[in-house]
Each structure stands twice: as C-alpha cells, then as structure tokens.
Amino acid sequence: MAYKVLALKWRPRAFSEMVGQENVLRALTHALDSGRIHHAFLFTGTRGVGKTTVARILAKSLNCEQGITARPCCVCAACKEIEEGRFVDLIEVDAASRTKVEETRELLENVQYTPTFGRYKVYLIDEVHMFSKSSFNAILKTLEEPPPHVKFLLATTDPQKLPVTILSRCLQFNLRSLPLPIIRDRMVYILEAEGIPFEDTALRELARGADGSMRDGLSLLDQAIAYGGGKVMTEDVYAMLGTLSWDVVYALLEGLAAGDASVLMTTVGTLAERTPDWNALLGDMVGLLQRIALAQFVPEAVDDHVGDRERILALAKRMTVEEVQLHYQIALLGRRDLALAPDPRSGFEMVLLRMLAFRPLTEEGAEVRAGTRSAAPPHAPSASSQAAPVPAAPMSVVEPKRADPPTPMAVPAAPVSLSEVHWPTLVARLGLGGFNHQLAMHCSLQRVEENTLHLTLEKIHRSLLNKTREQYIEAAVQQEFGSNVRVAILVMGDVATATASATAVTPAQIQEIREQERMAAAQRSIARDPCVQALQQTFEATLVDGSIRPHDG
C-alpha cells in the first residue's frame, strides 16, 4: 500500500477534529444547526491553514445522509465519497488551471440541473482569485442568484484580487495563521498515535518553521521523520532546517548583559564555522529582546511555549530596561543594514559592537553597566532622584577620554559666595538645556536670603514652570555652591511677589538686547560697504528690511 503523507492522512474529517479557526467553525456550526445557510461562501487565509478542508467538511455537512448537520456521520456513502474525492455532486475546480472564460462557461452549463445523488450540488473553486476578468463576469449572475440546489464554496489566498462584485455576494470567512503551540500540540498528537519517538524541542523548531501553516508543519514533520530514520530528534531537526540552537542566541544575549566583547566575538567565530543565516540570527535576537522587555514590565505575561521562561526572567534581571530597548532598536536597524555590510558576518559583528559601544545613562549621568537593573521603570524616578534630579542625555558613547575644553572667555569665573551672584552670568555656567534652560533664562534674581536664591518669573512665561524643572535648576546651582543651597521660583503677580520689584533684567532680555545690538551693527556695516553703496547708486537698489543677519563666525 502506498505511503500517505501525514498532511493527508490526518486531515480533519469533521469540524470537531479541526484545531484553531474557532471563529469560522462557530459561525458555520450555528448556520448549519439553524438552517440559515447562504448560497456562497468565501474562505480566505494564507496557505495551509484549512480553507479547502473546511469547504469539504461543509460539503459533507450539506449532503450527509443523516440530514443537514454540523456533525456529519462520516460513515454514509455521501460522506465517504466526499472524503475520497469521487462524489459526483461535489465539483472541485482549480481556478489556477482553468482561467479561460470558455472553461468557466462550460463549468456553469450544468448548474440548472438538479443533483444526481446528493442533496446539494456543490461547486468548490480553489484559488478563485486566478480567474480572469471575463471568468468573473461569467460567474457573477449565477453566483448572485443560483438555483436553490446549488452552493458555491470559494477559497483564495489573495482576496484583494477578487472584484468587489464577487465579494459582496459571498459570506467571507478569514482563516488565521495558527499559533506555534497549536501546531506543536497537533504534532505531538500525531506522533503519539503513530508511535514515533520525538523530542519536544525538535517539535518546537518544526512548529516555528511552519510559520502558521499546519500543512507546512506536517510536511516538515514528514521530512524530519525521514531524516531522523523514524525518529524526530532535536539535533537532526537543527541540521535539516539549517537553523541554530536557541542556546547560541542566549549565549549572545548573556555576553551583552555582561558587556564582554571577547565572549561575543568567540561565539561569533564558532558560529561562522556553521555558516548560519546572520539575518535570521538577528531576527531571533529581536524576538528574545521583545520577550525580555515584556518580562521586565509584566513578568506574568511571559509565555513558556518553548520552555525558556526562566531564562528570559533571569536575563530580564541582569539587563536594565534602557539597555533592552536600545539593543532592540540597534538589532532592528542592523537587520535593515546587513545587506550593505562588506559581508554578513562583519555586519553582524558590527551590530554587537554597537550594542556594547552605546549605553544608556542613569539619572546621575553615569553609564549603565551590565549586571545593574533600574529599580523602577524609566518614568518612575526614585526618591533620591526626586530630591535632586540632574539632567541626563539619553545615551552616551564609550570613547577615549579627552582633555576638558577651556572655559569660554565670555563667561567669568564662578562667584565666591551667594551674595555676589550675578544671575545672567550664573545661567551661562549652569549648562542647562531644553525647557530647563528656557525657564532659567526668563527668571530674574530678586534677592538672596540665607541659603536661598529667590527668583521671579514673568506671568507670561508661567507655563515653563513646574516642580521638576525647578528641581533641575536647583541641582545645577548646587553643583556651583554646595548641596545646602535652595532655589525658589515665584511667578510675578502672585501674592508672594506682590511687592517684588519688576525692574530686574532676565538673561533672556539681556540676550535679546545683545541680539538687537548685533543686528543694528550688521545693518550699519552693510550700509557702509562700498560695494553695496555702488549697487544702490548704479541700479537704484534698496536694502530689504529683515534680510540682513549677523555673521556668527
């Protein structure tokens, strides 16, 4: 007796034997049980997810000798003949090989005749999107108003190619790609029934290679059984698929967590002997980094369908949340740029070295080192950081130390004491950035009282003020004068500043005055330029207001 492949031997014979696709099976079951059966069904989805199988079971349910039911008996003559593909009233058509309009018209010539043996004459048209435009037009009228004894079952992997006129006349059911655990469990069921020994890790790799298709998964399982001589072992599956063990990917991530470049390069050298797919290896790293990030924020959401949950949780504790996010982004960009590298291996090595070179900063401005993990998510600063937050850049580059640049001549030395503070000069020394700098620029020093700088802010700029920015400015001032110095910012117009003098000049006002002076000097310089004067006299030219800009060089 000829060997029957697993995908055909274990093809579901009833809805109850199908795994996954509950959304489709529920709708069809209710329709059959209630007798509300449409005349045209369209099943869509990627290859190997059960479109044709569902259509054949539906044809069996419509023609079972026990009556129309969602649970066909599978023992009557009609059920057996449909399973064997010889039921005269089930007309199966492969649209990819019958695209001509003449063939479609020939197919529809017998639509008006009643079924020969069954209850319904069923037309099962697979890959219906391959029909030509003329073929769709030929079937359109029949599809809209078929005889009561005819049912159309259409299947396609590309519903976008179907005309809207066809789609509007069908009930459409989308069959989804099957998740890895469902494919793996089905393989376990089949192998146990067949009495074939297997290893669980091998089935996980086969299910991952199936990419959501049950038929592809069972075809790979057939191949693995043949490759392993009647057994499905992990090492055989890795060799057959040309993939690498997940231990290799974990070794790379553990090397990153330790910040050990020598371990990483040694691992890459060992991998190169097996000529791996470097792009796929980066993809595996991206997948694990996503699960590590999930474990850091929602540990209970990490699944264990590949048996590595504990390793994921361990890595999540060794790496900071910032490191994981940065590594994830670098790996994604590395996959995109891998084709531009001199060769795939060097491109992969460069991605790993980039992950080591770029490190996030802690709130104190120090580089995050491997083995340390933030005690809280990035948006939840600790109590110590709330007391004296210091601005920090999002990341730093590990580079050789350089000599400190000389202090600009325009900025004088720091004042000796608080009583000598000149606020505009001090703001230039604080090194603030962004909104923190804008807030300091629009403040003026009202008075110095004990160890507190009392600053005032014009009411028009009060949107710049919040507690966090005030703390940033205070922390920067403390670096100049010591940790016992405090900064208090009050908005002019409030009760607390009702008696405050409004004559103090802010750094922003001083800067604006200087810019105006520079602009006026630039305009005078242009007006005195001999070339400009010659152009004005010769061509009666005029200087356009606002077109002159001071030269910053």
CATH of the domain at 73: 3.40.50.300
The reported pLDDT for the residue numbered 315 is: 92
The CATH number that applies at residue 494 is 3.30.300.150
269: in domain: yes
pLDDT digits (tens, 9 = 90+) for 386-419: 434 444 444 444 443 433 433 333 444 444 467 7
Of the residues 483, 505, 527, which one is the last residue of a structural domain? 505
546: in domain: no
Residues 18 and 164 in one domain: yes
> In the 8-state DSSP scheme, what is residue 436?
H
Residues 428 and 490 in one domain: yes
Nearest by Cα to 107 from 145, 150, 64, 148: 150
256: in domain: yes
Residues 225 and 266 in one domain: no
Q: Would the CA dihedral through 157, 163, 164, 169 be positive or negative?
A: negative
Residues 21 and 147 in one domain: yes
Residues 296 and 326 in one domain: yes
10: in domain: yes
The contacts of residue 23 (CB under 8 Å, 6+ apart) are: 173, 174, 176
The reported pLDDT for the residue numbered 30 is: 94
Which parts of the chain have pLDDT scores under 70? 1, 306, 361-417, 494-503, 552-553
The contacts of residue 381 (CB under 8 Å, 6+ apart) are: 363, 389
Of the residues 308, 331, 360, which one is the last residue of a structural domain? 360
Residues 150 and 292 in one domain: no
Of the residues 241, 276, 294, which one is the last residue of a structural domain? 241
Query: d(Cα 231, Cα 208) in Å, to the nearest integer?
Result: 19
The CATH number that applies at residue 259 is 1.20.272.10
538: in domain: no
409: in domain: no
Query: d(Cα 319, Cα 72) in Å, to the nearest integer?
Result: 55
Nearest by Cα to 58 from 133, 136, 153, 134: 153
DSSP-H helix ranges across 85-213: 101-108, 133-144, 164-167, 180-194, 200-210
Residues 97 and 212 in one domain: no
The reported pLDDT for the residue numbered 302 is: 87
Residues 138 and 11 in one domain: yes
Residues 351 and 500 in one domain: no
Residues 198 and 166 in one domain: no
The amino acid at residue 200 is D
What is the span of the domain harbouring residue 26? 6-174
Residues 19 and 167 in one domain: yes
The reported pLDDT for the residue numbered 159 is: 92
Query: d(Cα 207, Cα 276) in Å, to the nearest integer?
Result: 20
Residues 27 and 118 in one domain: yes
pLDDT digits (tens, 9 = 90+) for 43-85: 999 999 999 999 999 999 999 999 999 999 989 999 999 998 8
Number of domains forming the structure of the chain: 4
The CATH number that applies at residue 197 is 1.10.8.60
Q: 320 near 368, Cβ under 8 Å?
A: yes
Residues in the chain: 553
The reported pLDDT for the residue numbered 62 is: 94
408: in domain: no
